[in-house]
Chain A
Amino acid sequence: MLALRNVSYSYETVAAVRDISLEIGAQQLVALTGPNGSGKSTLLKIIARVHAAHAGEVWFEEKRIADWPAKEYARRVGYLPQDPDPTFPMRAIDVVVTGRAPYLGRFAWESDRDWQEARAALELCDAAHLADRYFDEMSGGERKRVFLARVLAGTPRLIVLDEPLAALDLSHVQQFSQLLREIVDRTGCTVIFAAHDLNWAAAHSDRMLVMQSGTLALDATPESVMRPDVMRAFFGFDAETVASGGRTWIVPRTSS
């Protein structure tokens, strides 16, 4: 579905992504982790076509992503930025329906089908009751859910989420994880998400990518990432593991 070949990207003075090669198939739930500034967001932006790679190639469904017509690509790949914000007051449902924008003609207005998709997406994200609420009256977590619904409303085949968990309370983190799994299982699409919570990322992904100073340091199953030596080497902290519920959990070791 998605293939990166020797992809690099640099901001004015900093190389943010360095020579990354990677293949991701359909129906996968992929977690992208790594310390702050390791290049996660930049990599996601390249995949979402926000940035064009400075070197290397990105392929999506047998075509270079630069060769896809912009709207066509946007219908297939949905992207949730880290801090989405509509700037001006808008109702949640109006925010969500902009997820249908890639399907709209130049002078067209949303059809009934677009509104249906938007409402269905809100429902999926447990946010149907927020539909008519204004964005500036919502909590951070509610906004996040509305924005996730916006991505889903576009019925993408590849979903790219930058820090979707930030600002979510624990019960919605749980709900959200199940939702991602359901979407992947039911629609066969692929989800790539960036996350800092390693325990959560491991529990809810099929595959973990670990970035370190712009390079892809590790590409493995969650079980083989959740180890004290990996934490020490790639994340820079001492940890021990705890087994619970048939899974391994990482607990940072305090120095006392």
Chain B
Amino acid sequence: MSGSLTRSILVLTILLAIAIALGVSFGSAKIDWNDEVARTILLRIRLPRVLLAVAIGAALAVAGVTFQTLLRNPLADPFILGVSGGAAAGAAIATAFRWSRVPGLVTAIAFAGAIGATAAVFLLARRRDHTDPTRLLLSGLVLNAFFSAVILIAFTLSRQADLTAALRWMMGTLFGATWANVALVMSLLVLAMIVLAFVANDLRLLAFGEEDAKSRGVDVERVKLIGFGTASVITGAAVAVSGIIGFVGLLVPHLIRLIWRRDFRFLLPLSALGGATLVVASDLLSRIIVRTTELPIGAFTAVLGVPFFLSLLRRAR
């Protein structure tokens, strides 16, 4: 592995460790190992929550950098191909039918919606064994509009009591963090990272354009399928578990790029660490700023990320 990458990974890992330590230490209850209740809060609530933040942040950032590279579009984010719309529509329908009482069912339906949406977008954009990035983007855009309509209808038919939970999910939340969810997102993330590392050398060539990559011996359609599939699965899992947390997938890859300006093989691990750090820090803020309630985490990823991004952008030539 390249030496400068090892160093960069080390720096970001330390940053993430600090964020995790802070995230676990702070909250409405004090940590006290001798206190049974405090220990339970730590192990059953706070620790899984912080680790879920790690997994979600990393998953969204990795999906973001993968979509940006595959679509050769700096404005792409994990939700651009209808993944979030599909998941949200699934969750909204589940809410309307009052299935939210069954534990895990909303998550499962949201995940199915996410994967279904991606598959639909892919099939719509495919023509003569070729998937055109522009058609992909357009199909994603149109499907997202369709899902918005489904969500509106489903919400109108839902009960007031169910709506609050659904809305909270739409804004993104780590409220329902369980060890099962942590295990689900984390294991999919690790798997996705391995798969993406497998095609990383090809993906970085794809940034130069499909024809250029083909002339360099890259099996472009295969790499696209693997890349889109992997990124969609981890996005789907992240959205199904914790709703739509914006900005991470769009912003973090750009942050990393502004600092390191290197190819996909660098961006992949560094984005994962950066995304995890940003979401853990945002979650911490969303919990401690107002004591009485929990502010939406998706707002804090932007509140934290945007100023940092703008200052970097100003310093870059």
Taking Cβ atoms with an 8 Å cutoff, the residues of A that contact B are 45, 48-50, 69-75, 77-79, 81, 84-91, 94, 98, 101-102, 104, 106-109, 134, 137
Contact = CB atoms under 8 A, between A and B. Distances in A.
Contacts of A48: 214-215
Contacts of A109: 1-2, 265
Contacts of B218: 70
B132 interface: no
A101 B205 contact: yes
A91 B207 CA distance: 14
B215 A49 contact: yes
19 contacts: A48-B214, A49-B215, A50-B214, A69-B217, A70-B217, A71-B217, A75-B217, A78-B215, A79-B212, A79-B215, A81-B215, A86-B207, A88-B68, A88-B257, A89-B257, A90-B263, A101-B201, A101-B205, A109-B1
Given A84-B208, A109-B2, A73 B217 contact: yes
A98 B205 contact: yes
Contacts of A77: 215
B317 interface: yes
Contact of A81 (B209, B262, B317): B209
Nearest to A102: B217
Given A49-B214, A101-B216, A107-B197, A88 B74 contact: yes
B215 A74 contact: yes
Residue from the set A69, A77, A84, A86 with the largest chain B CB neighbour count within 10 Å: A86
Interface of B: 1-2, 68-69, 72, 74, 197-198, 201, 204-205, 207-209, 211-212, 214-219, 257, 261-263, 265, 317
A81 B208 CA distance: 10
B2 A85 contact: no
Nearest to B206: A87
Residue from the set A70, A79, A94, A101 with the largest chain B CB neighbour count within 10 Å: A101
Contacts of A86: 207-208
B257 to A, nearest CB: 6
A109 B262 CA distance: 13
Nearest to B317: A137
A45 B214 CA distance: 10
A69 B216 CA distance: 11
A139 B210 CA distance: 23
A84 B212 contact: yes
B261 A89 contact: yes
A155 to B, nearest CB: 14
Given A88-B257, A91-B261, A94-B262, A81 B74 contact: no
B216 A74 contact: yes
A101 B262 CA distance: 15
A77 B217 CA distance: 10
Nearest to B74: A88
A87 B208 CA distance: 6
Instruction: Report the 5 A-B pairs with minimum CB-CB distance, sorted nearest first.
Output: A74-B217, A70-B217, A79-B215, A71-B217, A48-B215
B42 to A, nearest CB: 39
A89 B74 CA distance: 11
A70 B213 CA distance: 11
Nearest to B218: A70
A106 B263 contact: no
A115 to B, nearest CB: 11
Given A74-B215, A102-B217, A88 B201 contact: no
Contacts of B209: 81, 84-85, 87
A98 B216 CA distance: 9
A102 B217 CA distance: 7
Contacts of B263: 90, 94, 98
Contacts of B205: 98, 101
B215 A106 contact: no
A73 B215 CA distance: 9
A98 B201 CA distance: 9
Contacts of B74: 87-88
Residue from the set B215, B218, B219 with the largest chain A CB neighbour count within 10 Å: B215
A94 B267 CA distance: 14
Contacts of B201: 101, 104, 106-108
Nearest to A71: B217
Contact of B204 (A50, A70, A71, A98): A98
